[in-house]
Structure 1
């Protein structure tokens, strides 16, 4: 038979005919258990070694322990957490255990004297003539010629008609010099809403600082429509 091995031996007995007979021993099946077990062991050992090498190639810090030849790897430079700003709009706060994303607070427009914040001009009776008389004295006190006063009259006639409570609801400009916003004139006096003299002093200071003289401001206004 093909799948069995036989061992032939001569048995010292006779079958009655005077001849010796041959008796086969018990057959033993062929097995491959030994080689298969060895091959499986080799494959398992190879896979285990490959997994160990792969983990350390991906992240060498895994399994690392502190020591003279292998220092501890710290991803945060010794700090418990760090903040990362993204695109100027978000901040990512990352720690060793977790992370969180926070949006920056929305910008809030500062308060100003304008129609949008509900401010309204006070109920006063303007006196353009008295305002111009005060302005003539203030211009002379600054050493300017009367021609500068003439330019100032033309400028503020155009802006406000010399009315102390002139108010532009669209822009928030207020007063004889049309300060924008009107609350800027508080630097000249707390009564900036109703006092023509306070408004004129602030307006002359603005004109001098920006254009040098009233005629310089008037030339700019005629050129571009504002000063």
Structure 2
């Protein structure tokens, strides 16, 4: 089986049947998947699904979600067990898309540190393919689950930037130009993305376009954050200026 939350939540049965999970039952399943193979207390589940203002029927609702999810699981219903301490969902790391993403990402980053950029590229590409969309389908969630989603999104962006580095190391400059440019539309305040775009243009021998990209990034940071670019993006700008001044 394969349980997925990196996009619209669902799971694939052993017969490849897709079972969608929505609403509060989705949040219940998400809480348990994020703590796979651990007993999650009923109080923690209620807080994770409803925050600090649960309905009076919260406990009864949780039991209803558990009953419904077991029905969805059919022959795999044994995965969801109940004890006096709470609920437990049995799931191997290879059956959960977030865990698969994490494993592939870690392998890719380790390969990059070892200088094996081909292996890094392969693993990071596969890691990002685990993402089909916004976690939990992008719906409004409780504060607890939203914090988990924020962490996942940040992790995805870090892995994406590492993928861009691997592509640059292997000379795939144009792919970085295209992909970093598209990602900036969704995360315009992510300085690392702008740095990858500027650097890829510099390495492609396109300093005038790189300078334009830097100025666009500078305008965004000044307008939205009241600061100028720093760190590696600033160094990329200085590299552009040294190239143009030398011509």
Q: Is TM more than 0.5 here?
A: no
TM-score, scaled to structure 2:
0.17
Larger Rg: 1
TM-score, scaled to structure 1:
0.19
Structure number with higher strand proportion: 1
Greater RCO structure (CA 8 Å; 6+ sep): 2
Structure number with higher helix proportion: 2
